[in-house]
Amino acid sequence: LLLLPKDIFLVEFKPVVKIGLKENINSNKVKMCYGSKYFFNKSSCEDISSNIKVTGEVDINNVGNYVLVYTIDYKGISKTLNQTIIVYDNESPVIDFLGQDGVNKCIKGNIYEPPFKATDTQDGDLTNKVKRKIDGDYYVYSVSDSSGNKTVARRFIINNDVVPPRIELTGGSEIYLVLNEEYVEPGFVVSDNCDQDINEKVIISGTVNSQQEGTYFITYEVTDASNNYTSVVRKVIVGKQKQVIENKVVYLTFDDGPSIYTEKILDVLKKYDIKATFFVTAQFPKYLPVLNRIHNEGHSIGLHSYSHVFKKIYANENNFFEDIDKLNEVVKEHTGTYSKILRFAGGGSNRVSKFNPGIMTRLAKRVTEKGYIYFDWNVDSQDTSLTDSNKIADTVIKQLKGKQLFYIVLQHDNKIANVKSLEKIIEFGLENGYVFKPLSTNSPVVHHRINN
């Protein structure tokens, strides 16, 4: 926001500048007037705008000092007046934190800091000028713009590292070999928020006998310095002939709605005549009636959580089922039918429930006993951290090019970027022979490794 200082008595710059003469025209004192449309001296009120010529320009979009020159011809007397207009910036820069909440203090003392961005209306990107320091339990960020407006923001320091390493399998998690075709390890990419030397820590186990038909599993495991463990498995299928992969299935899933965007998602799905799955909540009660449209248009409704408040639903098993039952009643009310499919808030592998040790292990067992089928995902759109719809679409498409026969794609209902990414994802799928289906109790299941 650009303002003129209060001590500059200027009503308009252009096209007409209102300047008045106070008291006597013969006096040397020429003053700027303000506040009224016409200017006058005490005895004779007269608009003298047309007697004034102004030269010089003020760019109110750029900070700076601008000089305006007023030439006044009045009753045969000519006077010149200079005025400096100071355009200044009183808007502070904005610091945006991206990625996870908080900064990790790693076991080796180094800090893992998720990305951030600083921007200013006048100066543009100021990210490189941000100063950081530790202040007690906080990591403090400060930045000033060229006009001296300062912004301070802070992130909580988490004194342990709870982020597990990530292993991405080069070549995908399923590989097909023709009998006697040698298995050559395609490799992996491993990364960790804290550990730099994580690469050497990956342990690969399992063998493939390419002389014998069958399904073989290669396991990749790694534990970081703070004992966060990750494992992924590659399936190697040895067959008489190369499997023809056709009609790979994509299950689009949308968590956390219905929301303000649900109808937009439904419109896109309708346009392409595609069925998807909505793992719903009651977080936005106003939109619950949309459940009816979801159901009527042939999509699946799964249970996610009524409240989506981790502290509450994972406090004990009773709370969890109370929450799910309550949600299922809402689903029944709007669709006429109960749901039998479920996705845990935070996913089956969540660590947010760690405050109640073992709860996910118990819940995974109990939901199954109660006849629910629960689904995690094998394609993460990363839409909780990405805000650019093209990047979300590209992230999904990249994973759809893997070697699995089916893909359960995690997206969130309540993110506008997702709505926009959807067309691109669907078009890629349709052009490449994928089939889109809604999840049901008969669908193939993806379960993450349970971490609690």
Q: Which residues bind Zn ion (CB under 5 A)?
A: 255-256, 345
Measured distance CA(308)–CA(257) in Å, rounded: 11
Contact 77, 30 (CB under 8 A): no
- CB of residue 266 to Zn ion, shortest distance in Å: 19
Question: Quick one: 148 exposed, middle or buried, by C-beta within 10 A (0-12, 13-18, 19+)?
Answer: exposed
Residue 151: name the closest of 159, 139, 142, 164 by CA: 142
- CB of residue 304 to Zn ion, shortest distance in Å: 6
Query: Whose Cβ is closer to Zn ion: residue 120's or residue 256's?
Result: 256
Measured distance CA(96)–CA(73) in Å, rounded: 54
Torsion-angle region of 148 (φ positive above 0: left; ψ -120 to 50: alpha; else: beta): left
- CB of residue 303 to Zn ion, shortest distance in Å: 11
The strand pairing partners of 222, in sequence order, are: 230
Query: Whose Cβ is closer to Zn ion: residue 161's or residue 255's?
Result: 255
Query: Whose Cβ is closer to Zn ion: residue 347's or residue 438's?
Result: 347
Query: Whose Cβ is closer to Zn ion: residue 224's or residue 256's?
Result: 256
- CB of residue 321 to Zn ion, shortest distance in Å: 18
Contact 251, 437 (CB under 8 A): yes
Residue 439: name the closest of 235, 254, 307, 287 by CA: 254
- CB of residue 212 to Zn ion, shortest distance in Å: 43
Query: Whose Cβ is closer to Zn ion: residue 256's or residue 376's?
Result: 256
- CB of residue 252 to Zn ion, shortest distance in Å: 15
Sign of the Cα torsion 376, 377, 382, 383 reads: negative
Query: Whose Cβ is closer to Zn ion: residue 224's or residue 413's?
Result: 413
Residue type, 175: I
Q: Which residues of 18-57 are buried (b: 16+ CB within 10 A; e: fewer)?
A: bbbbeeebeeeebebbeeeeebebeeeeeebbeebebeee
Question: Quick one: 302 exposed, middle or buried, by C-beta within 10 A (0-12, 13-18, 19+)?
Answer: buried
- CB of residue 342 to Zn ion, shortest distance in Å: 12
Query: Whose Cβ is closer to Zn ion: residue 149's or residue 283's?
Result: 283
Residue 148 tokens read as 């001296």
Query: Whose Cβ is closer to Zn ion: residue 220's or residue 278's?
Result: 278
Query: Whose Cβ is closer to Zn ion: residue 248's or residue 415's?
Result: 415
Looking only at Cα atoms, what is the longest distance across the chain? 112
- CB of residue 348 to Zn ion, shortest distance in Å: 12
Query: Whose Cβ is closer to Zn ion: residue 145's or residue 376's?
Result: 376
- CB of residue 345 to Zn ion, shortest distance in Å: 5
359-369 helix and 317-335 helix, angle to the nearest 10 degrees: 40
- CB of residue 92 to Zn ion, shortest distance in Å: 33
Backbone angles phi, psi at 52, to 5 degrees: -110, 135
**Which H or E run contains 290?**
helix 290-296
Query: DSSP letters along 384-424, please?
Result: TT---HHHHHHHHHHHHTSS-SEEEEEEETT-HHHHHHHHH
